[in-house]
């Protein structure tokens, strides 16, 4: 028996409070591309930390990058985490890219778990990157140019990803507010398709406040 097709013509519509759809490809592809760039930069830094290349590329601070990446602070983080911070950055940025590409243009409703996982990957990474920059300034006393580039990308990713996370959480809040049902909220979180959730999704799109 042939599986009935799903009408996706109304998926790429604006989602309150925004005048656009945060799950649209036009919103997510730039995030993924930036994440890939940051992953490539982190891979270069990781190669130095693992001793596979002799030096890092730094047109601004010269040997400062090498000193930052081999500093006592970097060594402490390696002993604490069991992996170099740059290598951890590679994994995190690749996670951003993969999660950014996954799902449809209506994943804020049909894959909230994916959007929230995406946010959990992107937002803490931006915070950690900022903390590492502060460590460069106040603990190490040296600067790493490519580290600053990845930290900037991390903050841009937080800014670009926040709207989709906000929309998904807002939709889940509406589901809970209307029915006070943990079972329905759980179904909504995992993206189950049923009449009540479709109705609440349309209500969320309408921007209903009551």
The rounded distance, in Å, linking the Cα atoms of 23 and 8 is 13
What's the burial of 169, exposed, middle or buried (CB within 10 Å: 0-12/13-18/19+)? middle
CA atoms within 13 A of residue 51's CA, in its CB half-sphere: 0
| CATH code assigned to 25-161 | 1.20.1440.130
The rounded distance, in Å, linking the Cα atoms of 107 and 164 is 9
Own/partner pairs for 5-12, CB < 8 Å, 24+ apart?
8/104, 8/105, 8/106, 11/104, 11/105, 11/106, 12/105, 12/106
The rounded distance, in Å, linking the Cα atoms of 166 and 116 is 9
In which band, very low, low, confident or very high, does the pLDDT at 10 lie, cut at 50, 70 and 90? low
CA 14 and chain centroid, separation: 21
Q: What is the pLDDT of residues 142-165, one digit of tens each?
A: 899 999 999 999 999 999 999 999
**Radius of gyration for the chain, computed over Cα atoms and rounded to the nearest angstrom:** 21
Q: What is the pLDDT of residues 41-98, one digit of tens each?
A: 999 999 999 999 999 999 999 999 999 999 998 898 899 889 999 999 999 999 999 9
Over 70: is that where the pLDDT of 5 sits?
A: no
Polymer length in residues for the chain: 210
Two structure tokens written together for 154: 């991390």
The rounded distance, in Å, linking the Cα atoms of 121 and 102 is 14
Report CA-CA distances (Å) from 174 to 83, 118, 135, 155, 179.
41, 21, 41, 29, 9
Two structure tokens written together for 166: 């906000």
Q: What is the pLDDT of residues 188-207, one digit of tens each?
A: 999 999 999 999 999 999 98
Using the structure block, give the residue that is written with the tokens 């079972």: 183
């Amino acid at each position: 028996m042939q599986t009935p097709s799903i009408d996706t013509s109304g998926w790429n519509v604006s989602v309150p409070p925004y005048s656009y759809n945060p799950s649209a490809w036009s919103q997510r592809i730039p995030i993924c591309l930036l994440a890939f760039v940051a992953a490539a930069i982190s891979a270069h830094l990781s190669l130095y930390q693992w001793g596979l290349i002799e030096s890092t590329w730094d047109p601004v601070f010269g040997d400062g990058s090498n000193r930052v990446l081999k500093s006592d602070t970097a060594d402490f983080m390696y002993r604490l985490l069991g992996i170099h911070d740059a290598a951890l950055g590679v994994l995190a940025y690749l996670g951003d890219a993969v999660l950014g590409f996954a799902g449809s243009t209506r994943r804020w409703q049909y894959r909230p778990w994916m959007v929230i996982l995406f946010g959990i990957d992107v937002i803490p990474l931006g915070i950690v990157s900022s903390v590492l920059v502060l460590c460069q300034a106040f603990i190490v006393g040296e600067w790493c140019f490519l580290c600053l580039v990845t930290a900037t990308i991390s903050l841009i990713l937080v800014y670009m990803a926040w709207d989709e996370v906000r929309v998904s959480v807002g939709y889940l809040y509406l589901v809970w507010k209307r029915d006070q049902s943990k079972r329905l909220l759980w179904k909504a979180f995992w993206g189950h398709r049923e009449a009540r959730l479709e109705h609440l999704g349309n209500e969320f799109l309408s921007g209903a406040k009551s």
